[in-house]
Amino acid sequence: MTSILNADLHCHSVVSDGTLTPEALAARAKANGVELWALTDHDEIGGQLRAAAAARALGMHYLTGVEISVTFANETVHIVGLGFDATDPRIMSGLQATRGGRGQRAQEMSAQLAKVGIQGAYEGALKFVGNPELISRTHFARFLVESGVCRDTPEVFRKYLTDGKPGFVPHRWASLQQAVQWITECGGVAVIAHPGRYRFTANEQYALFSEFKAHGGQAVEVVTGSHSPSEYVTYADMAKEFGLAASRGSDFHSPDESHTDLGALPYLSGELTPVWELLAHRIQ
């Protein structure tokens, strides 16, 4: 397994805020040359059996996956879990609790948008939702594009769905410790997702990495669709500094919205430990 280069360990299906089914993602990954794949829906593992079966049918290696929403230093941070036992009730109940606040949050987002003249956003967003327990900002973004309020989803986030904008509702997710614990106690490895995306000071970022490590976290995404080439270098250095393994994933959501396709990223630098080396015994 250590000869694997084209691993894509981060993407989303209709089970969260992607637009493709697990089966269609598996086929797309295979067509793009992915050798080892993980589906990492937000706060939800309902697609894992389908993804693993589709990968098996295509002769592609698979790791279970999830992307957990966490609140750290008043920011939302994402922690990817890989290789855990997806039938373990401990991770299932933790994720269920994390999903729990999304319905109410969506209603509040809709009420705020109504105040700035955008009516029916909750019902509009629901039309794009594949899993009723997982209504996300992405579904609102698709509605605002469809209804002509904005040109594309980045514009919706810029104008309406980020901190300080009229459709943004602050939310408290899982703690860093909980997320790492759910993943590791179920046999998996916890990974800091796209660290370059958080608006942290150097001190806050240092705290994130050191607390993550202290809780038992073992890896960080270095090569991701969310990082620039210079961030590949920055986070490769951080991985080495903190003694973390490295992960690689496109964060693909949709053929229409994602600029990085499945499997289409530079390989990890040879001086890093690939996260799948820690998970050789969990690869299906």
Out of ligand AMP, Mn ion, none, which partner does residue 154 contact, by CB within 5 to 8 A per kind?
ligand AMP
Nearer CB in complex with ligand AMP: 141/272? 141
Q: For residue 199, how many other CB atoms are within 10 A of its CB?
A: 8
DSSP 251: -
**Binding-site size, ligand AMP (CB under 6 A):** 10
* 219-224 and 7-8 strand pairing: unpaired
Site for ligand AMP in 73-132 (CB under 6 A): none
Indicate whether 253 belongs to the interface with ligand AMP (CB under 6 A).
Answer: yes
Nearer CB in complex with Mn ion: 67/231? 67
**What contacts 108, CB < 8 A, 6 or more positions away?**
169
Q: Looking at 19, 40, 110, 138, which residue binds ligand AMP (CB under 6 A)?
A: 138
Site for Mn ion in 176-195 (CB under 5 A): 193
Closest Cα to residue 76, out of 185, 180, 158, 194?
194
Indicate whether 102 belongs to the interface with Mn ion (CB under 5 A).
Answer: no
Q: Looking at 40, 64, 98, 153, which residue binds ligand AMP (CB under 6 A)?
A: 153
Quick one: which segment of 116-124, 151-159, 203-211, 268-276 binds ligand AMP (CB under 6 A)?
151-159
What are the distances in angstroms from CA 143 to CA 32, 124, 150, 259? 30, 6, 9, 20
What are the distances in angstroms from CA 205 to CA 80, 200, 214? 17, 6, 14
Minimum distance from CB of 109 to ligand AMP (Å)?
9
* 219-224 and 61-62 strand pairing: unpaired
Indicate whether 69 belongs to the interface with ligand AMP (CB under 6 A).
Answer: yes
Indicate whether 248 belongs to the interface with Mn ion (CB under 5 A).
Answer: no
Closest Cα to residue 276, out of 35, 113, 14?
35
Binding positions for Mn ion, rule: CB under 5 A: 17, 67, 78, 193, 251
Binding site for ligand AMP (CB under 6 A): 17, 42, 69, 136-138, 153-154, 157, 253
